[in-house]
Amino acid sequence: MSRPHEEPVEEARPAAGEASSPQVSVIIPTSNRWPLLSSCALPSALGQLDVEHEVIVVDDGSTDETSQLLAELEEPRLRVIRHASARGVSRARNTGIAAARGDWLAFLDDDDLWSPRKLRTQLDRAIATDAAFVYAGAVAVDERRQLISGLALPDPESLKTRLGRGSAIPAGPSNVMVRADVLGRVGGFDEDLSHSADWDMWIRLARDGEAAACEDVLVARIEHRQRMLFRDRPDVTREIEDLMTKHYPDNARQPGGVDEWLAVEHFQLGFRRKAAWLFLRAAVRRRSLGNVPPAVGALFGERGMRLASRLLVASRGHSHLDSSSKTPAVEPSWLGHYRER
């Protein structure tokens, strides 16, 4: 879990004044990625409508121009906290959590995009349902902000089950808004985890309180090829299997479970052959014939996967492909604004 900081943390840019606490604190970790931070996360966070919020950027030991350019911004809602040396994204998020003044906390990766009404829509939904945390529909886009695909949106009732098979919340940290008191109860991001700290957090949140979902697409995850390829590195797989052992020991005994999740992740982003290979590997490792139809179907795109899902329902009475929860691949109207920047 979170640990005390070994080095002092410098608030390079404190909040302007001490007015009433904001409704939401937005926490953005970043390190040496000013072009992405300045074109994606910062305009997304500062462009939110109809909500009182602060934006906390945690500069995790940047050695480029990030610190200087953040200091030059004339924005009273912006706070900048700097780590003298890089400590990792989980520690950066935990630093932001410790400094936040809002009743709600929202996380945003420096290379992702938000609808201008993301926070307002999620707040309204959370208040209406008395939820502890809330997430929304999301899409994947490429580096030119062109739509790649919709991302599966789990309903809150199935979230706990879905989290036993993968990090089910689309777009990860950039999607979730959580009550500050709930996060204080379950603890911060696990700083011993490198790739799956958000998944670990969603498991703990789902076990502690009720979730709510907004069907509107409010988040766009920008996909880089490097971001995709890391998901099947051996160290990533080992970390995920350790997480499964920690939270779902019965599932962890089925070694192909991680392969299934990785297969779906790759398929959603257009890597059909890689997805087919991962489904096939899951079939072998789990001795599961149920992964053979998607291994073939993945090669033929959405139509093939729908056919594979229907075949599984006909033969087994259910499908683990969750095709019905996939967000339609329709571009949200707000996305074009970011292409104009």
- Using 50, 70 and 90 to split pLDDT, how confident is the model at 241? confident
Mean pLDDT of 45-62: 97
Mean pLDDT of 177-185: 97
Answer for the pair 31, 108: CB distance below 8 angstroms, yes or no. no
Q: Look up residue 77 and give its two tokens.
A: 């809602």
Q: Look up residue 296 and give its two tokens.
A: 């073939």
- What global pTM score does this model have? 0.83
C-alpha span between 101 and 21 (Å, rounded): 6
Residue/partner pairs of 185-190 with CB below 8 Å, 24 or more apart: 187/1, 187/2, 188/1, 188/2, 188/90, 188/93, 188/94, 188/97, 189/2, 189/90, 189/91, 189/93, 189/94, 190/1, 190/2, 190/90
The DSSP call for residue 128 is H
Question: Helix (H, G, I), strand (E, B), or coil: what is residue 57?
Answer: strand
pLDDT at 2 over 50: no
Q: Spell out the SS3 assignment of 73-98.
A: CCCCCEEEEEECCCCCHHHHHHHHHH
Answer for the pair 135, 213: CB distance below 8 angstroms, yes or no. yes
**What pLDDT was estimated at residue 165?**
76
**What pLDDT was estimated at residue 13?**
67
Answer for the pair 70, 12: CB distance below 8 angstroms, yes or no. yes
Mean pLDDT of 78-93: 95
The percent of residues in the chain predicted with pLDDT above 90, rounded, is 53
Q: Look up residue 85 and give its two tokens.
A: 């040396």
**What pLDDT was estimated at residue 39?**
94
Question: Helix (H, G, I), strand (E, B), or coil: what is residue 5?
Answer: coil
pLDDT tens per residue, range 87-133: 999 999 999 999 999 999 999 999 999 999 999 999 999 999 999 99
- Using 50, 70 and 90 to split pLDDT, how confident is the model at 1? low
Mean pLDDT of 209-230: 81
Which of 252, 238, 230, 243 minimizes the C-alpha distance to 190? 243
Which of 106, 250, 87 minimizes the C-alpha distance to 172? 106
Tell me how long the chain is: 341
Mean pLDDT of 12-18: 62
- Using 50, 70 and 90 to split pLDDT, how confident is the model at 225? low
Which of 257, 306, 300, 311 minimizes the C-alpha distance to 279? 257
Average pLDDT of every residue of the chain: 86
Which of 188, 182, 173 minimizes the C-alpha distance to 135? 173
| Annotated domain spans of the chain | 9-224, 254-325
Bridge-based pairing state of the strands 177-179 and 133-141: antiparallel
Q: Spell out the SS3 assignment of 163-232.
A: CCCCCCCCCHHHHCEEEHHHHHHHCCCCCCCCCCHHHHHHHHHHHHCCEEEEEEEEEEEECCHHHHHHHH
CA-based torsion, 42, 145, 48, 88: positive or negative: negative
Mean pLDDT of 240-259: 70
Structural domain 9-224, CATH architecture: Alpha-Beta Complex (3.90)
The DSSP call for residue 251 is H
